[in-house]
């Protein structure tokens, strides 16, 4: 992954000023949230299913080495070729090698965030190969030379009007084409690609250790074309995406679809277990599975291992107040939103991505929505602490925190500082309701988009002291407890 040249604050400011983006987010984001809430409300044992999902993922990650070995053995027995890639460069080289050995010219792809992570498309194109994205969202992104901005809805940042203009330019549809007309035009344009492709590249939502299968979940059916029509199928698989057994896969699939799109199950669930057998009517002659590490083993060893439980449903993005205002591109990483700001530094190191853990209000909505209950705020606090320890936080923040730590550990000094701050804030010019509209220095960013609240004239401890002095009964009862 390549960190962008601009700062997060610059990108966030641009996103807030982008009217098209704001329109698209406002129209779409609530549908995902409503869909998920409705889907779980209709499931009486939804919370128990989430508990079960968390246990499955936690146990699977704890025994990842065993599952990988079991998977490799079973996948080979099915006739698949298993490759191991330590990093993105190795993964790209393996795909190119497979393409060269099989005289491939045309490649069709189904949606895969891992292929974005390893920057596969540019490498294939540099290698002289034609690449066609077949997921509708990814197809739009490819036509527009754009990037996905959401892990399950790549063009959530595009309002319908922009898609109409794009298809009008590239596919000749009317400027006011309906969604059905746009979809039909894309289907027609993609059909030839499906029929002429030599190789299909897919991701994998999961791999099943006990059967040696890779599992793809889609709503458009393009995944089935990609994995069955061309003579060679290459599956890009993150090593953490294990479901140890088919039974456990069943639980994870129910959680994934409900959390991602509010469906009880996605429209197409494909379980690929090796290449075509002699009695099969269709299917590829070769199935290559590339197990990709790219930083996952490092993450596994530390306090961010929980980020690997993620099943990439996107629910935490949909509820995040930061993502809902900025969309995905402002993060600068392939993985945006709460899980993105956790998993990106976990996979790629903190140094290039140290701004990202700050892109959160720590409100906890992500954990509340997460189907496998990943404690994202805990990991963000750890990453923020690491940022300060590594000297990567701005000087004013480091000095401010050091000062605060000193004051907070001396009650008299803390009370004095609080009184001083309350008095100063009382004297500052106020807006309606007594809130301050503009703060000086590094606090100015706070008041750019909201007012600074007043500090209470009386602190909690002062009120507590007064109350206990005036009500001895309460004090005695409290002490007795
Ligand atoms: S962290 Fe949880 S909610 Fe977010 S994408 Fe992963 S599984 Fe879904």
* pLDDT tens-digit readout, 16-59: 999 999 999 999 999 999 999 999 999 999 999 999 999 999 99
Q: How confident is the model at residue 450 (pLDDT cuts 50, 70, 90)?
A: confident
Pocket test for ligand 1, best of 58, 306, 339 (most atoms within 8 A of CB): 339
Pocket of ligand 1 (CB under 6 A): 259, 310-316, 339, 369-372, 374
Pocket test for ligand 1, best of 40, 314, 378 (most atoms within 8 A of CB): 314
Q: Tell me the two tokens of residue 425.
A: 């804030």
Q: Which atom number of ligand 1 is nearest to the Cα of residue 317?
A: 4
Residue 433 has pLDDT above 80, yes or no: no
Residues pairing with 206 in the sheet: 215
3-state SS of the chain is CCCCCCCHHHHHHHHHHCHHHHHHHHHHHHHHHHHHHHHHHCCCCHHHHHHHHHHHHHHHHHCHHHHHHHHHHHHHHCCCEEEEECCHHHHHHHHHHHHHHCCCCEEEECCCHHHHHCCHHHHHHHCCCEEEECCHHHHHHHHCCCCCCCCCCCCCCCCHHHHHHHHHHHHCCCCCCCHHHHHHHHHHHHHHHHHHCCEEEECCCEEECCCCEEEEEECCCHHHHHHHCCCEEEEEEECCCEECCHHHHHHHHHHHHHHHHCCCCCCEEEEECCCCCCCCCCCCCEEEEEEECCCHHHHHHCCCHHHHHCCCCCHHHHHCHHHHHHCCHHHCCCCCHHHHHHHHHHHHCCHHHCCHHHCCCCCCHHHHHCCCCCCHHHHHHHHHHHHHHCCCCCHHHHHHHHHHHHHHCCHHHHHHHHHHHHHHHHHCCCCHHHCECCCCHHHHHHHHHCCECCCCCCCHHHHHHHHHHHCHHHHHHHHHC
Length of the chain: 481
Cα angle 229, 219, 47; round to 5: 135
Distance 161 CA to ligand 1 centre (A): 30
- Spatial neighbors of 188 by CB under 8 A, at least 6 apart, are none
Residue 478 has pLDDT above 60, yes or no: no
Both ends of the chain: CA-CA distance in Å? Answer: 55
- Spatial neighbors of 463 by CB under 8 A, at least 6 apart, are none
Distance 260 CA to ligand 1 centre (A): 9
pLDDT of residue 479: 58
Lowest mean pLDDT of 4-13, 68-77, 90-99, 441-450, name the range: 441-450
pLDDT in tens, 335-375: 999 999 999 999 999 999 999 999 999 999 999 999 999 99
pLDDT in tens, 142-178: 999 999 999 999 999 999 999 999 999 999 999 999 9
Q: Rounded distance, CA 226 to CA 229, Å?
A: 6
155, 143 in Cβ contact below 8 A? no
pLDDT of residue 190: 95
Residue 481 has pLDDT above 80, yes or no: no
pLDDT of residue 476: 60
Atom 3 in ligand 1: residue holding the nearest Cα: 370
Q: Look over the chain and give the mean of its residue pLDDT values, rounded to a whole number.
A: 93
Task: State mean pLDDT over 433-444.
Answer: 79
Atom 4 in ligand 1: residue holding the nearest Cα: 316
Task: State how far Cα 454 lies from the chain centre.
Answer: 36
pLDDT of residue 418: 85
Residue 473 has pLDDT above 60, yes or no: no
Distance 342 CA to ligand 1 centre (A): 11
Pocket test for ligand 1, best of 314, 374, 380 (most atoms within 8 A of CB): 374
Among 369, 365, 159, 367, CA closest to 262: 369
- Spatial neighbors of 24 by CB under 8 A, at least 6 apart, are 156, 157, 158, 159, 327
Among 200, 168, 179, CA closest to 99: 200
What sign for the dihedral angle of Cα 64, 110, 79, 100? negative
Distance 316 CA to ligand 1 centre (A): 5
For the chain, domain boundaries: 18-297, 400-480
Among 305, 296, 217, 310, CA closest to 264: 217
pLDDT in tens, 318-339: 999 999 999 999 999 999 999 9
Atom 2 in ligand 1: residue holding the nearest Cα: 370
pLDDT in tens, 58-78: 999 999 999 999 999 999 999
pLDDT of residue 260: 96
CATH no., domain 18-297: 3.40.50.10420
């Amino acid at each position: 992954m390549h960190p962008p040249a601009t700062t997060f604050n610059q990108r966030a400011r641009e996103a807030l000023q982008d009217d098209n983006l704001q329109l698209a987010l406002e129209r779409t984001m609530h549908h995902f949230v409503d869909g998920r809430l409705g889907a779980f409300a209709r499931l009486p044992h939804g919370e128990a299913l989430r508990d079960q999902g968390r246990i499955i993922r936690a146990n699977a990650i704890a025994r990842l080495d065993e599952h990988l070995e079991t998977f490799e053995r079973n996948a080979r027995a099915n006739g698949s070729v298993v490759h191991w890639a330590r990093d993105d460069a190795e993964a790209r080289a393996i795909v190119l090698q497979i393409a060269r050995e099989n005289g491939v010219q045309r490649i069709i792809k189904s949606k895969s965030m891992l292929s974005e992570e390893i920057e596969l498309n540019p490498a294939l194109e540099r290698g002289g190969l034609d690449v066609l994205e077949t997921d509708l969202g990814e197809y739009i992104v490819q036509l527009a030379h754009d990037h996905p901005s959401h892990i399950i809805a790549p063009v959530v940042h595009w309002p319908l009007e922009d898609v109409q203009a794009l298809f009008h330019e590239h596919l000749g549809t009317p400027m006011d084409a309906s969604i059905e007309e746009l979809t039909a035009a894309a289907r027609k344009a993609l059909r030839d690609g499906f029929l002429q492709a030599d190789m299909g590249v897919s991701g994998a939502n999961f791999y099943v250790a006990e059967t040696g299968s890779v599992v793809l979940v889609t709503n458009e059916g393009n995944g089935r074309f990609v994995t069955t029509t061309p003579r060679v199928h290459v599956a890009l698989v993150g090593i953490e995406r294990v479901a140890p057994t088919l039974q456990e896969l069943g639980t994870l699939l129910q959680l994934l679809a409900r959390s991602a799109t509010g469906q009880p199950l996605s429209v197409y669930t494909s379980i690929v277990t090796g290449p075509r057998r002699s009695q099969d009517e269709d299917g590829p002659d070769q199935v290559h599975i590339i197990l990709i590490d790219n930083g996952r083993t490092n993450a596994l060893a530390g306090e961010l291992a929980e980020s690997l439980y993620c099943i990439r449903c996107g629910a935490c993005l949909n509820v995040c107040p930061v993502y809902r205002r900025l969309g995905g591109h402002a993060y600068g990483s392939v993985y945006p939103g709460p899980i993105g700001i956790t998993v990106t530094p976990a996979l790629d190191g903190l140094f290039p991505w140290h701004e990202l853990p700050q892109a959160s209000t720590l409100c906890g909505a992500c954990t509340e929505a997460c189907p496998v209950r990943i404690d994202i705020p805990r990991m963000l606090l750890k990453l923020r602490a690491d940022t300060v320890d590594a000297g990567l936080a701005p000087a004013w923040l480091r000095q401010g925190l050091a000062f605060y730590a000193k004051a907070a550990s001396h009650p008299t000094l803390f009370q004095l500082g609080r009184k001083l701050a309350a008095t100063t804030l009382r004297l500052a010019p106020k807006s309606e309701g007594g809130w301050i509209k503009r703060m000086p220095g590094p606090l100015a960013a706070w008041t750019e988009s909201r007012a600074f609240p007043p500090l209470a004239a009386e602190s909690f401890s002062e009120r507590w002291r007064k109350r206990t002095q005036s009500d001895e009964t309460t004090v005695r009862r409290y002490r007795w407890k």
